[in-house]
Structure 1
Amino acid sequence: MATKNFFVLFYLISVLPLLSISLEEYEIPPSVLESIPGGDWVLLHSSIGLSAMHMQLLHNDKVVMFDRTDFGPSNLSLPTGRCRFDPNDVALKTDCTAHSLIYDIVSNSFRPLMVQTDTWCSSGSLLPDGTLVQTGGYNDGERVVRTFSPCSDDQCDWTELPEYLSVRRWYSSNQILPDGRVIIVGGRRVFNYEFYPRNSMNESSPANYYMSFLKETRDVYEENNLYPFLHLLPDGNLFIFANTRSILFDYVGNRVLKEFPEIPGSDKRNYPSTGSSVLLPLHLSGKNETQLPEAEVMVCGGAPSGAFHSTDHSIYVGASKTCGRLRVTDPEPKWVIETLPMARVMSDMLLLPTGDVVIISGAANGTAGWENAVNPVLNPVLYLTYEPDPARRLNVLNASPIPRLYHSAAVLIPDGRILVGGSNPHRLYNFKNVLYPTELSLEAFSPPYLAPQYSELRPSIVSVDPVSYRQMFSVTYVLSAYRAEQGISVTLMAPSFSTHSFAMNQRLVVLNVVSLLQLSSFEYQVSMSGPMSPAIAPPGYYMLFVVYAGIPSHGVWVKVE
């Protein structure tokens, strides 16, 4: 490494003048996508053998996917001699098919995994070491914690910790915390939260903590507060949204610090009136260690009150057409409401490396649940977070040919594409005599920034220094067409656990770039400071992107610690 650095320095001194490119105040570079292309869909597999109800991207460029065990046999066999024996299963006591798999992004291949207990409507998070912690489910899985540690030899599989959770966790939500623990909030008719791992240092600590907000927001007839939206804020507290209400919550002191205004309108936003939510990008530009970035939450889609039970009578009420943005760090925050191009329920909202948001999949009528939705919404919508003109902020993209309804999921992967799979609008893998058959396919959607005409504007990362809190580090990249006015930004993206239209732990941090050097004709080095604290970016693995003119590089994995 020292020899390499010497020759680079010699070349710079003797051959090139060292150019220091001035940086104006900017947070996200202006985009060149004046006319938004529609994006492209590619069918990766017509069948992966199971329906991708849950997805988690891992730092070895693989994605864990799984559905539920009480569905009957899947179309993916376990290796010869392996079977699941479960006397509690409501479909099969002996099952030699897989209900989980691991997908390799690079090779576009997958292999089956063995999950023993029922993972239906469960939740998950990644620990700082990259291990997936997957919590709860149904029946014999409702109090189980499962872990999956990434490996390179294709020998890793699920490990299960039965009865680890203090209560049933079915439809709960998870969030990684600054100290590396995971908080698990709610569940069906459960009005408390707990932590993984437990506090083994203090045996007197309660197994769980009551949260009255969860009981208050439950609709007696339709619930509408399942899979509550959780977002870790820069001050270390939690934003929690359920039904139409939201709070600022101190999980250390077990107290509500503030209740925010109700989101306007009568639409419900959580399961089964399933909307979605993201924490918009956190900007560290120009901030010192005592200045916290502003935090803004966006909630989109959902369904009106009563929509869930209307489906019992084959009445499919129109879904919500609104999005709300709430700057939660304002002293007196107020919702700003925007109108979607089409109504949506059960859509996934994913942050992109550029800071924009894609809204993908779902239906225009009905709610979550078996056979409870019609009129699939096939067109994603690109939401331009930084576009000042509301009329230009929402852009309809090209449609997928495959409906994605109940129990579909989507995740962003390092090359900037979005994996989309699943859709089980009925029971037991039924493919016949139904309007929307169980969907076993896997697609990839390429957002507009991956269009071929932008290839010369796409940075290519050469090297990245280790990333630590409050410490300077550098990224070296190659770019063939640089203009200073377009600027450069560097973003950190936390990989999400996605299920039921909510990407848990999803997070985008825009770093504070302080210098940019041109090393050669096409090679550049950008320097910036690491995140200010674990509340800004909890410890663990992130995809790092260099973004130029609205075009992101391929993401590179870094560990923030």
Structure 2
Amino acid sequence: MPHSCSLPLLVLALLPTLLSINSQPSQPNAGRQGGEWRLLQASVGISAMHMQLLHDNRVVLFDRTDFGRSNLSLPDGRCRYDSKDTVLKTDCSAHSVLYDVITNTFRPLMVLTDTWCSSGAVSPDGDLVQTGGYNDGDRAVRSFTPCGDGSCDWVEFPNYLSRRRWYATDQILPDGRIIVIGGRRQFSYEFYPKNDDNRGSSSFLTLHFLIETRDENENNLYPFVHLLPDGNLFVFANTRCISLNYRTNTVVREFPSIPVRVPRNYPSSGSSVMLPIDENKDSLDVEILICGGAPTGSYTQALQGNFIRASSSCGRLKVTDKNPSWAMENMPVARVMGDMLLLPTGNVLIINGVEFGTAGWELGRSPVTRPLIYCTADDTPTGRFSIMAPSPRPRLYHSTAALLHDGRILIGGSNPHRFYNFTDVNYPTDLSLEAYLPPYLSPEHDKIRPRILSADQLLRVGQTFSITFQVAGYLEASSLSARIVSPPFTTHSLSMNLRMVVLKSAGVSRSTSDKYVLNVAGPSKAEIAPPGYYMLFVVNSGIPSSAVWIKILSH
């Protein structure tokens, strides 16, 4: 079996077990070694500060409303009227876009209140629930419900939140609610929908951990939050981390501080992922990976024109260990404002960002245009990091990234300015969308690329189901897996609600010469995979299929 972080050797086609090779549907092309970049749209009219993929393969993009006109007009003479806007009271341009992955087209959306530096999650029914922002949007909740006829748009609920939520983090919970944690000078959390318990419908709960972990500017913004299989929340702020029982508002456990004492949250803006949860293992090992950041004082120094080199350190913590400790290693290059995503293979993509400075207006220098792929396997003889092909476009402050159903990575954003500036600046505002195609999308792997033909689309927790798929060439049963991925809400180097579960396999059987049936069990409990929509991939020898969407039901 090929090493889990190596691309498969197609000389395996000479083995007697090779099946006859038939034609495959066309796949996006990717370079053999470092992947490939494709420009999708030279401009969608806005800079994609926030990004969310939905289950109809459309992506909601939005920026902020308080910087003036965008480069995209609202249709039919529509305008936005906002007496509280700090720049334009009447604005006939769009600040949100719906991008269609399949057709590579987009249309403007109408968002009313200010979404600057806000947060979001997808509800169990597949609606984008978006919380907070700035100015008149700091207590707002907005929702977007996918539709097929092009009529859907934002619906807003002003002043819904109990506290201002600017730079907060959202996490979907096992019961389908969303918890909203933190924000600038907000050391508390609350729920959407609002609590109906004896604390009252407008309650919020103080989280003293956020008070304790502030920096000199009272910042520990966009805390890293991951739902653990025991139902508690892993919360990381600057250098410290805890397990939080949000039901009782108690700290269940304080984990060791990350050894390289570099702040990791905004504006130091490292990034975090929870590594895939594998239900085939006897015990559920849960690991958190945190990479990048900016040394203490970087923000203040950058304001004075002194751009300090970011951190190259990555820390990996197995939170399920009895006595967990951080395993530290270094990326090939320092990075702040990088985005981290789980690839269908289970490895981690680190993309976007800069080498010097910090998050904030004009405060980053030396863009890092080469993505990294971090190998999550323990047996990695040649090192965990692989350096990929560079992008022709720097992606700095306010850039975003999302995994798509076909395995590509959608990249957008980069506006390190208070307004849209395209000339006479080091790094012009970028309104484009591009795709990064990892090496697993190279046509040379089409012979062993699975193609899902059918799978149950509605599942209950623990339900066994079958996936029928096709492989034109070699199938390595021992390296075959099915895995589900929740599409995250991405902004400011944070992928909220990102998780991957490797489903428990009950074996694969051949139905015809090139068709197979893989029997798997759905996630064992809602703490492993909360209700909602997931992308289902089949991976053969390190090469993933395109995904189909499935919905895990709440009951």
TM normalised by structure 1 equals 0.92
What does residue 507 of structure 1 align with?
Answer: 499
The CA deviation string for residues 63-104 of structure 1, in whole angstroms up to 9 with x for no partner, is 000000001100011002210001111111100000001000
Does residue 179 of structure 1 match 2:175?
yes
On the 8 A contact 2:5/2:380 being kept in 1, the answer is: no
Does residue 425 of structure 1 match 2:416?
yes
The change in CA–CA distance for 1:39 and 1:542 in structure 2 (over 3 A counts) is same
What does residue 350 of structure 1 align with?
Answer: 341
Q: SS in structure 1 opposite 2:346?
A: coil
What does residue 523 of structure 2 align with?
Answer: 531
The CA deviation string for residues 34-81 of structure 1, in whole angstroms up to 9 with x for no partner, is 797100000001111000000000000000000000011000110022
The CA deviation string for residues 327-348 of structure 1, in whole angstroms up to 9 with x for no partner, is 0010100000011000000000
The change in CA–CA distance for 1:432 and 1:195 in structure 2 (over 3 A counts) is same
Q: SS in structure 1 opposite 2:76?
A: coil
Does residue 32 of structure 1 match 2:7?
yes
The CA deviation string for residues 221-279 of structure 1, in whole angstroms up to 9 with x for no partner, is 2x441000000000010000000000000000100011100001231100000000000
CA distance in structure 1 between the aligned counterparts of 2:32 and 2:241, rounded to whole angstroms: 34
On the 8 A contact 1:37/1:451 being kept in 2, the answer is: no
Q: How does 1:109-508 map to 2 (within 5 A)?
A: 109-200=105-196, 202=198, 204=200, 207-221=203-217, 223-287=218-282, 293-386=284-377, 388-389=379-380, 391-465=382-456, 466-484=458-476, 486-508=478-500
| 1:202 Cα deviation after fit | 4.6
CA distance in structure 1 between the aligned counterparts of 2:120 and 2:400, rounded to whole angstroms: 14
On the 8 A contact 2:242/2:254 being kept in 1, the answer is: yes
Q: SS in structure 1 opposite 2:550?
A: strand
Q: Which runs of 5+ in 2 are unaligned?
A: 10-30
What does residue 18 of structure 1 align with?
Answer: none
CA distance in structure 1 between the aligned counterparts of 2:141 and 2:380, rounded to whole angstroms: 46
Structure 1 counterpart of 2:7, one-letter code: V
CA distance in structure 2 between the aligned counterparts of 1:240 and 1:416, rounded to whole angstroms: 29
CA distance in structure 2 between the aligned counterparts of 1:117 and 1:544, rounded to whole angstroms: 35
On the 8 A contact 1:123/1:134 being kept in 2, the answer is: yes
CA distance in structure 2 between the aligned counterparts of 1:218 and 1:353, rounded to whole angstroms: 35
Q: How does 1:60-139 map to 2 (within 5 A)?
A: 60-139=56-135
The change in CA–CA distance for 1:456 and 1:387 in structure 2 (over 3 A counts) is farther
On the 8 A contact 2:349/2:374 being kept in 1, the answer is: yes
| 1:430 Cα deviation after fit | 1.4
Count residues in correspondence: 531
| 1:200 Cα deviation after fit | 3.3
Q: SS in structure 2 opposite 1:420?
A: strand
CA distance in structure 1 between the aligned counterparts of 2:113 and 2:2, rounded to whole angstroms: 46
| 1:30 Cα deviation after fit | 7.1
On the 8 A contact 1:31/1:549 being kept in 2, the answer is: no
On the 8 A contact 1:28/1:354 being kept in 2, the answer is: no
CA distance in structure 1 between the aligned counterparts of 2:128 and 2:147, rounded to whole angstroms: 12
Structure 2 counterpart of 1:365, one-letter code: F
CA distance in structure 2 between the aligned counterparts of 1:80 and 1:28, rounded to whole angstroms: 56
On the 8 A contact 2:475/2:540 being kept in 1, the answer is: no
Structure 1 counterpart of 2:115, one-letter code: T
The CA deviation string for residues 480-510 of structure 1, in whole angstroms up to 9 with x for no partner, is 1134355310000001100000110000000
The CA deviation string for residues 157-203 of structure 1, in whole angstroms up to 9 with x for no partner, is 00000000001000000000000000000000000000000123656
TM normalised by structure 2 equals 0.93
CA distance in structure 1 between the aligned counterparts of 2:171 and 2:498, rounded to whole angstroms: 9
CA distance in structure 1 between the aligned counterparts of 2:184 and 2:479, rounded to whole angstroms: 47
The CA deviation string for residues 456-484 of structure 1, in whole angstroms up to 9 with x for no partner, is 11100000024221121000000011343
Q: SS in structure 1 opposite 2:46?
A: coil
What does residue 546 of structure 1 align with?
Answer: 538
The change in CA–CA distance for 1:33 and 1:372 in structure 2 (over 3 A counts) is farther
CA distance in structure 1 between the aligned counterparts of 2:93 and 2:271, rounded to whole angstroms: 32
What does residue 23 of structure 1 align with?
Answer: none
The change in CA–CA distance for 1:501 and 1:180 in structure 2 (over 3 A counts) is same
Q: SS in structure 2 opposite 1:267?
A: coil
CA distance in structure 2 between the aligned counterparts of 1:265 and 1:106, rounded to whole angstroms: 43
What does residue 9 of structure 1 align with?
Answer: none
CA distance in structure 2 between the aligned counterparts of 1:487 and 1:205, rounded to whole angstroms: 49
| 1:29 Cα deviation after fit | 6.1
The change in CA–CA distance for 1:521 and 1:33 in structure 2 (over 3 A counts) is closer
Q: SS in structure 2 opposite 1:310?
A: helix
Q: SS in structure 2 opposite 1:453?
A: helix
CA distance in structure 2 between the aligned counterparts of 1:250 and 1:177, rounded to whole angstroms: 12
